[in-house]
Amino acid sequence: MRVNLSNVKLKLKVVKPTKRIEPKEIPPKKLTKLVNGKVVLIDGKYYCFVQYYDFNERLFGNTDIIEITDIAKSLNLPFTEESYDIRRFRTIFTRDKTKYGYLSLVRTESQIVFGNYNPDKYIPFAPNWIVRGWIVKINNVLQFKFRNLVTINGYDYRYKGLLDDDEFEWFKANKDGKK
């Protein structure tokens, strides 16, 4: 039995793909060089209290003080989401206060790489600690991007002795032998 294919009509329709519109996220903008701030806990949320004179002197050249605040006042800034990431920090703290206060864990290199620490239970900073980071604007919201711990509040530290971004890059390049 032979089938005559000349009478068969084949129609193909091309379906247009639907465009999925992603919400546009404004990339984070660093407004300051490294600044120091104090970690505070307000209503179960962590904030960084940054003094006005600290961030006013540490603005990038393309940043106007009005982008941060229109009056001369200190700020309580929430931490960015990536500030809570504990994977790269040697010292981490419990989120909840125990009867002994906030417990700190000092991890070895292998514990940092292979340790299975729950980020819901541990964070890289604790209340009443002086921390270092940047004031950033993410989706038109001012936030504090945590970089490292400095000391617990109450101990004397020299602000001028700490490295800023440019000095840190110079030191890193000289340490690696890349003058």
Whether the CB-CB separation of 127 and 48 falls below 8 Å is answered with no
pLDDT above 60 (res 42)? yes
CA pair distance 96, 73, nearest whole angstrom: 30
The fraction of the chain above a pLDDT of 90, given in percent, is 19
What per-residue confidence (pLDDT) applies to 143? 92
Residue written as tokens 């920090």? Answer: 89
Of the listed ranges 5-9, 125-129, 132-136, the least confidently predicted one is 5-9
Whether the CB-CB separation of 88 and 112 falls below 8 Å is answered with yes
Q: Which of 112-116, 126-130, 153-157 has the highest mean pLDDT?
A: 126-130
pLDDT above 80 (res 40)? yes
Give the model's confidence band at 39: pLDDT under 50 very low, under 70 low, under 90 confident, else very high. Answer: very high
Answering whether pTM is above 0.85, one says no
Between the CA of residue 172 and those of 70, 127, 134, 167, what are the distances in Å?
36, 30, 19, 8
If one compares 38 and 21, the residue with the highest pLDDT of the two is 38
Between the CA of residue 107 and those of 5, 114, 135, 141, 157, what are the distances in Å?
75, 11, 28, 33, 24
Using the CB atoms, write b or e for 27-64: b if 16+ within 10 Å. eeeebbbbbbbbbeeeeeebbbebeeebbeebbeeebe
**Domain range summary for the chain, segments of one domain joined by +:** 23-84+127-174, 86-123
pLDDT tens for each residue of 152-172: 776 655 554 555 555 556 556
Residue type, 171: F
What per-residue confidence (pLDDT) applies to 71? 76
